[in-house]
Each structure stands twice: as structure tokens, then as C-alpha cells.
Structure 1
């Protein structure tokens, strides 16, 4: 598909810029990045500025981005947050940050997006975003890490990114933000939260 070709062009150009010492090659790789940006702009509603800001900021060897999500279950219901940007609901989470372990990162994300302090349980899913029906497709590879968690403190607190915070019955979910989460991600998390036994070691 076109988005896969765009991603490959971008990866070749980014990696080439990292290793090349030739000025002419650098110009060619920079042009490839421009072409990848323009092609993705033709396939999405995002502006060139948005694409460059969110999808093409990295330098060096091209590697997948990491998205962290938490399935927080309380009294049989799952915590969801409503994104102001699209008006739809998702599991709290976001991009992994430098100098944070995955558990530190998702603990911070849940607190920032919902106001709740949580204890992270187990890693219950690690997914390649392109192999599942998340929409839209992005010009970068993304690995999605899903953790179970339980509330230990805090209270619902809206912020600049989140307009509502609520717990939902897994059988009656609201309209989801399908670029961030699928119903199956939530149902798998609810099931994993009920399981006991050895968990996957995770930092």
C-alpha cells in the first residue's frame, strides 16, 4: 500500500542522512524526505507542517515509535478519557519518553490524562499498529504496548487534551478514537486484569 511505500522512503532517507558524509547524497536524501512528506499529505488531512512536526522530527537510524496505553479497571468498569482533538474516547496513554521505563511512562500518562494515580500490573499486549485496523495509517511504524493497572489514588481531572474522564461497562463502550485504541484492546485488557499468575517481567 502507498503508506507503506511512503514509510520505506522516509526510513531510507532518514537512515541515509545519518550515515552519509557526502554533500550530494545529503541533498538527495533530504529531497526524499520532502517527497515522503508531500505524498503523505496527499493521503491524509494533515498539513505539511503537522506532518513534519509529528511524524518526521527524528534524526538518525529510523526505528519504530512506541505508544503506551493502560487498561485501568475498577469495579468491573474500564477507565476511558475523551480526547478534545477528536471528541472520541480512548485508553489513557501516549508516546514513550526518553529516560523513562515503560511502566514509569504509562504511570505518568494516566496521571496526566485522567488525574488518577495507578499501580501498573502486567503487559498484556504488544501490537504492531499496521497489523490491526487502526485508522488512519501513519507514515511511521508504531509498536503499541498495553498494560493493566488499578487505581490507588487521585480523582478525575480534565486538562487541555482531555475533556471528560469516565468508567464504562466493557459491554457498552462509547465511540472510540480508532487511531489510538480498538474495542478488542479494551476487552483484552479487562480479561487480563482478571487473571492471576506469572506476569511478563517489565521495567
Structure 2
């Protein structure tokens, strides 16, 4: 009998302010810029998880607008659900997981990110469009 593959589910929140800037973090562990997010806990909904993760990492409380994409890292077995959000309150503050937190103009933000994470912000930046994309990557590059 073969074992079932193990997967982890993560969530990320791509929040935009009234000026169209995106809320990004520079991670403590690897120095990379990304939208805030993390592992979904067993007893929470994806929407609850993204609100929790964004707040824990940035100090900004957000409200979820909609799911904007599903992404799978084929190397690590991580499935990420990414949501577009808007801020409700709070000021960007660094945390144990985020060395820097900032509201960044969209193009400047995606220029700082590897392609597998920049596409998440790009997908969330669309006001409307085709159905939610499901993209695969190797942790850095889209496949």
C-alpha cells in the first residue's frame, strides 16, 4: 500500500490601500519580499486564517474581499490560497516573521519578488477578470 502524499495549505493576503499600494513584508528567515501569509490552522476557515496571518505579520487588520488564486509549490507540496483584501486599521509594523513591512507601489513591489510570488500580487491586483487561476511553481519559477 502506498502512502498518500502530504500537503500543507497556506493562505496569503494581498491588501491594497486607497492609493493602490500593496502591503508587503520582507521575511525574517530568507529576506524575500512577499505578501503576508502562512500555514492555515486546522480549526479556522481560509478567510479567518488570512486575516490572522496578515495581522500577526504586519499589525494591519484586513477584511477579505475575494479569492484571487490557488498556487501549488510542486517541490514542497504547499498549496496556497491567495485573497485580495483591504485594510481596516493598524499601521505596518515589523514582527518576528517580517523584518520589514511596507505599503509599496504595485510595480516596485513585484520587482522585489521572485516570479512565483509576484504573480500572486499581480493576479490579486486585477479588479475583475477570468476565473481564479490555479498556477504551479517550483518555489521560484512558474511552471
TM-score of the pair, normalised by structure 2? 0.80
Which protein has the larger Cα radius of gyration, Structure 1 or Structure 2?
1
Q: Please tell me whether the aligned partners of residues 86 and 177 of structure 1 are also in contact (alpha carbons under 8 angstroms).
A: no
Aligned length: 127
Which runs of 4 or more aligned residues in structure 1 lie more than 6 Å from their structure 2 counterparts after TM superposition? Answer: none
Q: Please tell me whether the aligned partners of residues 79 and 91 of structure 1 are also in contact (alpha carbons under 8 angstroms).
A: yes
Query: Any residues of structure 2 matched to 1:38-77 within 5 Å, and which?
Result: 62-74=5-17, 75-77=19-21
Give the aligned partner of residue 125 of structure 2. Answer: 190
TM-score of the pair, normalised by structure 1? 0.57
Give the aligned partner of residue 79 of structure 1. Answer: 23
Deviation at 1:169, TM superposition (A): 1.5
Give the aligned partner of residue 46 of structure 2. Answer: 102
Higher helix proportion (structure 1 or 2): 1
Deviation at 1:159, TM superposition (A): 1.3
Deviation at 1:182, TM superposition (A): 2.1
Give the aligned partner of residue 148 of structure 1. Answer: 84
Higher strand proportion (structure 1 or 2): 2
Residues in 1 aligned to 2:22 and 2:70: alpha-carbon distance in whole angstroms: 19
Deviation at 1:147, TM superposition (A): 0.3
1:160 equivalenced with 2:82 (yes/no) = no
Cα-Cα RMSD: 2.0
Residues in 2 aligned to 1:182 and 1:77: alpha-carbon distance in whole angstroms: 16
Question: Could you give the per-residue CA deviations for residues 70-98 of structure 1, whole angstroms, max 9, x where no partner exists?
Answer: 11011211110111111121000001111
